[in-house]
Amino acid sequence: MKRNVIELIAAGVFGVAAIAGFTTSQSRQPYDLTQIEFCPVSKSQKGQLYLDRTYCNHRHYVLTEAWLRYGGYDSVIPYKGNAIQWVRDLPTDNPSQLTSNAVAVIGLWGVAGCFTMRSQRLKRKDYEYSEAEKTHGYNVWLIDAHRREIKQHSTGLNTERLKDGLTAMDMEERKTLGLTDEENENAKARIQFEDFIKARAVNHSAQDKTIAYNLLAKAKADKERAKTEGKVKETEQAAIATASNFTLPDDYKWIYKLLKLPFRVLSGEQGSGKSTLERLMIRLLKDEGYHIVVINPETNPAVWSGVEVLVEEQEINNFMEAFPESIRARQRRAREQKIDEDDFLDTLSSELGLNGRVAIFLMESNTYEVHGVNPDLLAAFLKQSLTNIRKWGYTVCMTAHSDNQTSVSSALSGFSKLLDSQPRVDCIAIADPETNEAVSSGKGLLKMKGVKDPDPIEVPLYNYPKTKRF
C-alpha cells in the first residue's frame, strides 16, 4: 500500500512538472531578434541618385546572435545621400524557454517511468500470487491423495498380525501400561501405516526393476534394428549410386523435362531437399555425357569425384569471365562448319570435358560475393545463362536460399524480373517432430512460369543417396 502511494505521488509530481514546463515554454518570441529596415539609393536614367522607398517598409528579422557574429552595428550603412538603414533590438519575452522544455521532457519521462515500474511490480505480484495458489492447490491435492491411498490399502495389510498384536497388547500390556481406547486406535493406525509403506516400497521396487529391464531390452532391440536398417539402406543407396542403368520411376519423370531447360532455379529453406535434388540432377546429366562443373566456395573439393569443382575466387572469376567467349567461339565454329544452330548440340556428343556438353551448378550462390567473386562477372554470367545456351551445349542450375537480384549479385540491378521468370523448384521443408529442425517433406512446387506462377505443380522429390562421387 505504501509503495502504491509513493508511486502515485511521484507520477503526480512529474506530471505537474511536465505540464508546467510545457506551459511556460510557450512564447510569442522565443529568441532575441534584430529588426532591420533598409532604403537603398538608386540611380535614375538621367544619372541622378534618389532614395528608393519601395523597400523602406520591408522589415527583416535575424537572430541577434547571428547579427552580432557578422559585425552587428558595425555593418550599419551610415547616412550617405539618401541611403538610410534602421536597426532595432527585439529581446525575447521568454528567456527561460530551454529550461522549461527540459523540465517538460523530464516530467514526461518521470511519469512514464513511474507507471512502467508500477506495471512491472503488479505483474510480478500477480505471478507470485498465481504460483502460490498453484503450490497450495498441489499440496492440498497431494495430502488428499495420500489419505485416500492409505484408506484404500490399510484394511488389507497384515490384518492377522494386527489382530493378534493388538489382542496381546489388549490382554497383557494394556493393564500394565494403562492404555486408553484412543491410544489403542493410534497404535492400530501406526501399524497399518508402517505395513502399507513397507508393502508399497517392495511392490514399487519390483515394478521399477521390471520397467527398467523392459526399457533396456527395448533400447537394445531398437539399436540393433536401426543398425540393421542402416546397413540395408546404405547397401540400397550404394547400389543406386553405382547402377549403370539408373532410371527414375514414373512418378519422378518430371525431372527429365526440367533437365532439358537451359536454366533452372532450386530454392527453399536449409534442409528442404535442394542438395538431394542437385545430386540427382548431376547423376542424370553425367549419364547423358555432360561434363559437370560445380561452383561452390564453401565446399571441400576432396569429397567430390567425377566432377570439376571450383572453390577459389580467382578460378571462379576466370571461369565466369571466359564463359561468354566460349559461347561466341562455338557460334563461330558453327558458322565456319556450316552447321545449323539447332543441330550444333548433336556435334558435341563425341567431345570431352569443357569442349563438349557442360552442365554448370551454381551452389550456395548467395555467398559468392562474400567469398570474393566479382559481382560484375557474376552478373554477366547470369545474363548470358538466361539466353538459349542449351543449343550451344550448356545448361545451368542455380541453387539459393533467396534468389532475388541483390541477394545473388549487387550488379544485377533491374534484372530481377527476368531472373524471377525462370523455371524453378521450390523445395518444401517441414519441422522434425523430435528435433524441431527443418527437414525435407519429400515434396516440391514446380513453377515453370517463374516465382509468381499462379498454377504451380506439386511434385515428389526423389531421395537420392548422400554421395558426392559420380
Residues 183 and 236 in one domain: yes
| 246 compared with 424, residue with greater pLDDT | 424
Instruction: Note whether 15 and 62 are same-domain residues.
Output: yes
Q: Are 52 and 58 in contact (CB under 8 A)?
A: no
Averaged pLDDT for residues 419-433? 89
d(CA 253, CA 459): 10
What domain count does the chain have?
3
Q: How does pLDDT run across 15-25, given as a tens digit for each residue?
A: 888 887 777 77
Contact 382, 414 (CB under 8 A): no
Q: Which domain holds residue 409?
A: 250-460
* Whole-number pLDDT of residue 345: 87
Mean pLDDT calculated for residue range 86-113:
77
- What are the pLDDT digits (tens) for 233-268? 555 555 566 666 788 889 999 999 999 999 999 998
> Model confidence at 158, in pLDDT bands (50, 70, 90)?
very low
CATH number of the domain to which 290 belongs: 3.40.50.300
Residues 233 and 314 both lie in one domain = no
Q: Establish if 446 belongs to a structural domain.
A: yes
d(CA 346, CA 357): 10
> What are the C-alpha distances in Å from 458 to residues 269, 353, 445, 451?
17, 35, 5, 14
Which residue, chain included where needed, has cell 492377522? Answer: 160
The separation between CA 44 and the C-alpha centre of its own chain, rounded to angstroms, equals 77
- Under 8 Å CB-to-CB from 121, ≥6 apart: which residues? 3
Closest listed residue to residue 296, CA positions, set 396, 353, 358, 368: 368
Same domain? 222 vs 327: no
* Residue 382 cell numbers, joined: 547470369
User: Is residue 469 included in any domain, yes or no?
Assistant: no
Confidence check: pLDDT of 322 > 90: yes
Please give, one letter per residue, the 3-state secondary structure of 3-16: HHHHHHHHHHHHHH
In a shared domain, residues 347 and 414? yes
Q: What is the pLDDT of residues 121-134, one digit of tens each?
A: 788 777 766 766 66
Pick the last residue of a domain from 220, 242, 264. Answer: 242
3 state DSSP class of 262: coil
Separation of alpha carbons 446 and 424, rounded Å: 6
Q: Looking at 21-30, 227-236, 383-392, which range is the least confident one?
A: 227-236
Which residues on adjacent β-strands are paired with residue 59? 37
Query: 0.85 cut: is pTM over it?
Result: no
pLDDT of residue 368 exceeding 80, the answer is yes
* Candidate from 240-244, 336-340, 458-462 with smallest mean pLDDT: 240-244
Is the pLDDT at 178 greater than 70, yes or no? no
Residues 192 and 284 in one domain: no
Of 225-229, 251-255, 354-358, least confident by mean pLDDT is: 225-229
Residue 327: what are its φ and ψ, rounded to 5°?
-70, -40
Bridge partners, residue 447, by sequence: 424
Of the listed ranges 84-93, 347-356, 391-400, the one predicted with least confidence: 84-93
- Tell me if 98 is assigned to some domain: no
Whether 164 is in a domain gets the answer yes
The x, y and z cell numbers of residue 168, run together, are: 496381546
With CA atoms as reference, report the closest residue to 266 among 281, 284, 253.
Answer: 281
Cα distances (Å, whole numbers) of residue 339 to 221, 258, 336:
66, 27, 8
Tally of residues, the chain: 470
* Sign (positive or negative) of CA dihedral 332, 335, 340, 346: negative
